[in-house]
Structure 1
Amino acid sequence: MNWNDFGARNRRLNPLWSLGAGMNLGELQPYKEMIALSVLLQVYYLELESSEQRTREDLVELAWNSLERFGITKHGSPESVERLVDGLLWSGGGGDFEAYYYEDLSREIAVQKYKYFTVDEDATRTSWEENGTTVYRLSEYAMELIFMSHEIIDEFQVSIKLLEIQMHIKHGRVTRAMQDVNELISRVRKMTQQQQEYRNALRRNPKHIFSEYGTQRHERLEEIHQQFDEERKHFDNIHRSLARLANDEKDVIDFNELRQLSERVELSRRVHDELAGVVLSIFETETNLRLNFPEIFWGAAGFNFRTHVWEEWVKPEGLPDGDSLETLISGLFSPSQDFIYPLAWAWEEQEVGFLLEEGTDDPEEAGEEEDYRYVPRGIPWTEVCELWLPVFTGVAEQGSFTFTAEAFPEDTRQRWAETPNAVDLWVQFFHSVITVQEQEAEGHGAADECQKLIQRLIADHPELEVLRGARLRTTIASEPQGNVCLPGLEISPYTITIVEK
């Protein structure tokens, strides 16, 4: 059996299996799936007619229409009908519906979230100004339920459907052509809604231009433009076929059906024009963003909590539990910070030495204030180079070296803990890629302390000459390892690697 598309089939059928599930409608319980589907269908035709009578109160009225149509009005009550409508708008928890499905790639059970109705933002914006009500529209999942018997999938091309309509009209199949025109209108409206959602998201946050949806939209732009060109020709051919059908088959064709078909074709042309207008407005918005706000396209410098943690991770994916939130933000607000370096080391950085500029034996000047010369503290390079020699020897021989407790004998670990200048160099190596100088500078006059260390080691140990010109990168060890705990010191397990020569 080929399991490659099982997950897609599973996700496609979940909304159908869950339709009406979990509802307790009393005497309407045996009919809940039938009533729910009828409400979806009625909303579908309202969208085809561009009617905005799709508020919650309108949906309740549509449900009563279904009960009357099916002859089961006596089994319904205001509470049960409203419960059915609310069960279509929201899940029992008030949010998305959830169902399990098999994920093909990961080969694991995953959770699918979906809705049968979503808010029609454009229509709601107008209705809120007038009467403060929310207008709903069918979601993609609900549209698939309606067209599932017709095998309408996302990849179904609009131009192919237009050609099919033209063939039906040419052969006098008016009823079939009417059905296809309605399906085409729904397909184009769905594309329009997707473009409107992207446009609204782009207006709220320009960063959506870099999102997966924005990238996919740009990949589909060429297809959309080709459809616009083909649609003009197809619509002209359809109108000519309708006129020819009215003249040649006037004795067998129902002119009322032909008139309705002509009106639906004209509506189809208008929704295509609406799609074109939305695409052009998005293009205008993106052009304005690129022209007037070029900084949003610049690469982000560094890492910040709001963008990389909160907006790109926590808000889209959420946290597994409440304790995770405390763990996430405790480091930002807790007065007790995690250990980094001993405080004594910070005070040592402030210590300076003073040397007499000149000694004097003149007793007459002995009582005067002595003049001292400021001498800043330096790095004990001899001791630091001894500690770092095994590190660069390992890099030269094996291509990398990881700072772990096991990498050094006990006496060397004690010396590392007592030599803050040697430990500080790990942090300096970690901030950037270090390219070892090709030529030895006179008097160890390197650009920074990292280069000074390397040049001193190479000068004293010729076997390290192989490091000249190498690019060194320092990272935290990828494998889960604990921090290196030395006497009075805790340090991350850094790994220094040759990335390019």
Structure 2
Amino acid sequence: MNWSDFGERNKRLNPLWSLGAGMNLGELQPYKEMIALSVLLQVYYLELESDEQRSKEDLVNLAWRSLERFGIAKLGSPESVERLVDGLLWSGNGGDFEANYYDDHSRQMTVQKYKYFAVDEDATRTSWEENGTTIYQLSEYAMELIFMSHEIIDEFQISIKLLEIQMHIKHGRVTRAMQDVNELISRVRKMIQQQQEYRNALRRNPKHIFSEYGTQRHQRLEEIHQQFDEERKHFDNIHRSLARLANDEKDVIDFNELRLLSERVELSRRVHDELAGVVLSIFEAETNLRLNFPELFWGAAGFNFRTHVWEEWVKPEGLPDGDSLGTLIEGLFSPSQDFIYPLAWAWEEQDVGFLPEELPDTLDDAGEDEEIQYIPKGINWAGVTELWLPVFTELAAHGSFTLSAEAFSEEDQLRWAANPNAVDLWIQMFHAEITVQEQEAEGHGGADECQKLIGHLMMNHPELESLRGKVLRTTIRAGRQGSIRFPGLEISPYTITIVENRVDSA
């Protein structure tokens, strides 16, 4: 079975399964789904006719009309009918309806929210000025139910639907053409509603232009213009077909039906023109934003720390504690590497020197501050060589040494973790060949710290003299997974090996 579209099927059917659910309508209970669908369908045709009699009171009257049509008006009561309408407008908690569905992408159950009715903002704006009444219209989900009941689940392109209408007219199928025109008007009005919602969102927050919907619209600009051109041609052809049908089949076709169809086609043209106007106004608004506010689009396609983390998260919401700051930015300094470098050590490296712990409180005889001597920061070689001595002793005896937790006692592990200078030397030796100097140099070794370490060790431990002239290489042992963990420290499993004896080879 192909599960890739199961979630979308589930979301499409949830509003149908939930239609009338949770309502307690007394004797009308067995008919609640049928009555609810009839109300939706009546509102659908009112919208086709641009009839604004769609207030809550009007919906109650539509429900009573359905009861009379079905011959069950005597089973209803004012309370049950009003409860039915309330159950279509709002869920039991007064908000959106909710249902579960399986999300194919996240592979988990997700909550879907939907409504059967939405506020018709344009009509409501006028009615509120006149009598304070809210006008409702079908939501996208309710429209989907209507289309499903018409067995037109697949949404064809508008141009294809226009071709179908033209075909019906050519063959004299006026009734079928009328149905298709009505469905087309409804579909275009749905598109107008979507475009208006996006336009309003864009006015409230220009960043909506970066949403998936806004990006797709901008990429389809040329396609949309082409679609409008095609629609104008289709409407011209439809009007010519209607005129030809009226002349050639005047004895067969009902003139009144043909006149009504012509009026509906003209209404469809006006609705398409309205859609074109809304779409073009959106593109005009987007163009003005790009010209007058270019800073909104700088770096819009990428993710950056300052905007998305610092300005949109940390500054408005703050951090739970001071230590969280280190955790937040440690990844900027310590990405995934062979060696996990603690951020505290990176900050410690910024201290190039230090001042005496106790500063003089009094001035000297001349009335000036006593000059404070600057002491450059250095390495405590005594502590470093004490940690490295077992490494080089093993190396001199067996030709190699592999860093592991078992190679050191718990006390030594704590000492390694507390001495970043000693750990740094593993990094400096990695991917480099170090030749141990033949003779002891002045100042205990060469220019780099690795040679200085070897010089300090060999000066104090004559048993390491056998390493002179030999070449040392540090690698990560093949086949080792993960890193070595000491308390407070994580480090890669390095292996240091004697790879060449230059004295013998000479």
Using structure 1 for the length normalisation, give the TM-score.
0.68
Give 2:282's aligned residue.
282
Structure 1 residue 457: deviation in Å? 5.8
What is the letter of the counterpart of residue 27 of structure 1?
Answer: E
1:16 aligns with 2:16: yes
The residue correspondences of 1:328-339 to structure 2 (distance < 5 A) are 332=319
- Shift in alpha-carbon separation, 1:351–1:220, aligned structure 2, 3 A: same
1:207 aligns with 2:210: no
8 Å CA contact 2:161, 2:180 repeated in 1 = yes
What is the letter of the counterpart of residue 211 of structure 1?
Answer: S
Give, in whole Å, the separation in 1 of the partners of 2:18 and 2:374: 79
Structure 1 residue 298: deviation in Å? 1.8
- Shift in alpha-carbon separation, 1:283–1:418, aligned structure 2, 3 A: same
Give 2:164's aligned residue.
164
8 Å CA contact 2:55, 2:136 repeated in 1 = yes
Give, in whole Å, the separation in 1 of the partners of 2:117 and 2:407: 61
1:304 aligns with 2:303: no
8 Å CA contact 2:35, 2:67 repeated in 1 = yes
* Structure 2 residue runs without a partner (length 5+): 328-342, 389-403, 431-447, 455-470, 476-481, 494-506
What is the letter of the counterpart of residue 171 of structure 2?
Answer: H
Q: Specify the structure having the higher radius of gyration (Cα).
A: 2
Alignment coverage as a number of residue pairs: 409
- Shift in alpha-carbon separation, 1:373–1:179, aligned structure 2, 3 A: same
- Shift in alpha-carbon separation, 1:210–1:249, aligned structure 2, 3 A: same
Q: Secondary structure at the match of 2:54?
A: coil
1:353 aligns with 2:356: yes
Q: Deviations over 1:73-97 (max 9, x none)?
A: 2222222112111111122122222
Q: Deviations over 1:193-244 (max 9, x none)?
A: 1111111111111111111222233344444222211111110010011111
1:89 aligns with 2:89: yes
8 Å CA contact 1:385, 1:457 repeated in 2 = no
Q: Deviations over 1:108-158 (max 9, x none)?
A: 444332221123333334444444443322122111111114343464111
Give, in whole Å, the separation in 2 of the partners of 1:72 and 1:78: 14
- Shift in alpha-carbon separation, 1:151–1:216, aligned structure 2, 3 A: farther
Q: Secondary structure at the match of 2:59?
A: helix
8 Å CA contact 1:181, 1:265 repeated in 2 = yes
Give 1:449's aligned residue.
none
The residue correspondences of 1:98-497 to structure 2 (distance < 5 A) are 98-153=98-153, 155-299=155-299, 300-302=304-306, 303-304=308-309, 307-308=312-313, 332=319, 352-353=355-356, 371-375=370-374, 378=377, 380=379, 410-411=410-411, 413-415=413-415, 418-419=418-419, 486=487
* Structure 1 residue runs without a partner (length 5+): 312-328, 357-365, 390-403, 430-435, 437-454, 467-478, 497-501
Q: Deviations over 1:46-83 (max 9, x none)?
A: 22122333232322222222223323222222221121
What is the letter of the counterpart of residue 224 of structure 2?
Answer: I
What is the letter of the counterpart of residue 378 of structure 1?
Answer: K
Give, in whole Å, the separation in 1 of the partners of 2:150 and 2:90: 27
Q: Secondary structure at the match of 2:118?
A: strand
Give 1:51's aligned residue.
51
Please identify, of 125-134 and 42-51, the stretch whose mean Cα deviation from structure 2 is larger. Answer: 125-134
Give, in whole Å, the separation in 2 of the partners of 1:68 and 1:293: 59
8 Å CA contact 2:414, 2:486 repeated in 1 = no
Give, in whole Å, the separation in 1 of the partners of 2:150 and 2:68: 27
Give me the identity figure in percent: 72
Structure 1 residue 167: deviation in Å? 0.7
Q: Secondary structure at the match of 2:100?
A: strand
Q: Secondary structure at the match of 2:112?
A: strand
